[in-house]
Amino acid sequence: MQPIVLASTSPFRKQLLEKLGLPFATAAPEIDEGRHADEPPEALVQRLAEEKARAAAPAHPQALIIGSDQVACIDAEILGKPGAKARALEQLRMASGRVVTFYTGLCLYNAASGEGQVLCERFRVHFRDLEDAQIERYLDHEQPYNCAGSFKSEGYGITLFRRLEGDDPNALIGLPLIRLVELLHHEQVQLP
C-alpha cells in the first residue's frame, strides 16, 4: 500500500483520520488560503484542499495525500474562525434561529501518478433560537475560538442545535470520512 499523508496540522482532522485505522503521517502545507474575488464557498474549499495536498507532494512523492479545507456560511457570508470571544459571540448571535452551511473540500492526491480526486461535501446545522446568556455560557464552557462558526459539534456545541442535516457528521468536524473511504477505494485501499 502507498504511504498515506494528511496534509493538515488540524488535531480534529488527525483524530478523525485515526478512526480508519490506517497508518499515516502528517504534513503542514504552506499555501496562501486567501479567497479569490467572487469565489463561491464550494470552489474555495475544493481549490484549497487540492492546493494543500499538492503542496505536500514534493516531500512525499509516492504517497496518497489527503487535503481538506472547510468554511462555514450563513447565506453567502463566510464566518471563519472567530479567534476571540467578541467575534464568537457575534457569530453565534448571527446563527441564532438560522441555518449555517458548512462546505468541506476534500482532495485525495496520488503523488506518484499526479492524479487527484476532488469534491465538496455540504452539511447544514439548524440552530435553536439562542439568548445572549446561553451563548455566553457556551463560550465560557468550550472556548471554540479556533473553530469555524464558533462551535464544536463534537462537544458542548451540540446543545446549540435544533437539527443536523447531511450525509456524514464527520464532514462537520472537517474531514468527510464516508467520501474519503470512497476515494481511497478508487486508489485500491481496501477498508475494512
Average pLDDT, stretch 30-52?
94
**Torsion, CA 128, CA 169, CA 174, CA 14, rounded to 10:** 130
Average pLDDT (12-30) is 96
pLDDT value, residue 1: 85
Q: Which of 29, 56, 22 is nearest to 190 (CA)?
A: 22
pLDDT digits (tens, 9 = 90+) for 31-40: 998 899 889 9
pLDDT for 91 equals 96
CB 179 within 8 A of CB 119: yes
Residue 142 predicted with pLDDT over 90:
yes
Select the more confidently predicted residue: 152 or 96.
96
Are 63 and 4 in contact by the 8 Å Cβ rule? The answer is yes
Pick the CATH number of 4-186 from 1.20.1050.90, 3.40.50.300, 3.30.56.10, 3.90.950.10: 3.90.950.10
Specify the pLDDT at position 76.
82
Q: Please, are residues 129 and 162 in contact by the beta-carbon 8 Å criterion?
A: no
Q: What is the pTM of this model?
A: 0.93
The reply to whether 69 belongs to the active site is yes
User: 81-140: per-residue pLDDT in tens?
Assistant: 899 999 999 999 999 999 999 999 999 999 999 999 999 999 999 999 999 999 999 999
What CA–CA distance (Å, rounded) separates 174 from 44?
Answer: 15
Mean pLDDT score across all residues of the chain: 95
Domain ranges of the chain: 4-186
Cis peptide before 192 (omega within 30 of 0): yes
When pLDDT is averaged across residues 151-175 and rounded to a whole number, the result is: 93
Among 32, 38, 69, 167, the one annotated catalytic: 69
Structure confidence at residue 23 as a pLDDT band (50, 70, 90): very high
